[in-house]
Amino acid sequence: MQRSVNYDTIAGVYERCYERTDYGPVLRFLLGFARGGKSLLEIGCGTGQWLSGLAEAGHDIVGLDPSRNVLRVAMEKSLQPGLIQGCAESVPFGTGTIDRLFCINAFHHFSEQGRFMAEAGRVLRHGGGMLIVGLDSHTGLDHW
């Protein structure tokens, strides 16, 4: 049975998940992945945890998420105007316009994963890179 989470409802408490686990290794890996990319796009950006780390390192970033309320939390971190409400299956960018696209702990939420993959391939520049990190918090069995 697949469980669903309404992120608009839990937006105010979502960031507590970052208090339980040391995500430093993920951020360090992400910073290495971002190196050399001018346009960085996170799909399923949520409250902007990863975008904040990239912005602090001097990267220009854009985040896409379907939840209006988690984007509001991200805006409180001064990440706007780099935040867009939208879905992974219909990325609102032109063909070949993104250098680095990443998705952390969100892929399992996408309703049409194949369509997302096609969209990612469409918006990435030739030679661009895509990174997907997946930890399905619903299973409770995954470890970093």
Residue-number span of the structural domain to which 77 is assigned: 24-133
Which ranges of 57-112 would DSSP assign to H, the alpha helix?
Answer: 68-75
Q: Which residue has better confidence, 95 or 29?
A: 95
Q: Report yes or no on 10 lying in a domain.
A: no
State the CATH number of the domain containing residue 78: 3.40.50.150
- 60 within domain boundaries: yes
Residue 51: closest CA among 90, 99, 104, 5: 104
pTM for this one? 0.78
Q: Given a cut of 60, is residue 66 above it in pLDDT?
A: yes
Query: Is the residue at 101 inside a domain?
Result: yes
Mean model confidence pLDDT for the chain: 82
C-alpha span between 50 and 113 (Å, rounded)? 21
Would you say residue 139 lies in a domain?
no
pLDDT, mean of residues 71-93: 86
Mean of the pLDDT values across residues 55-71? 87
Token pair recorded at residue 86: 């939208």
142 assigned to some structural domain: no
Higher pLDDT, 72 or 142: 72
Our count of domains for the chain comes to 1
Residue 144, domain member (yes or no): no
- The pLDDT score that the predictor gives to residue 76 is 83
For residues 61 and 80, what is the distance between their CA atoms, to the nearest angstrom?
Answer: 10
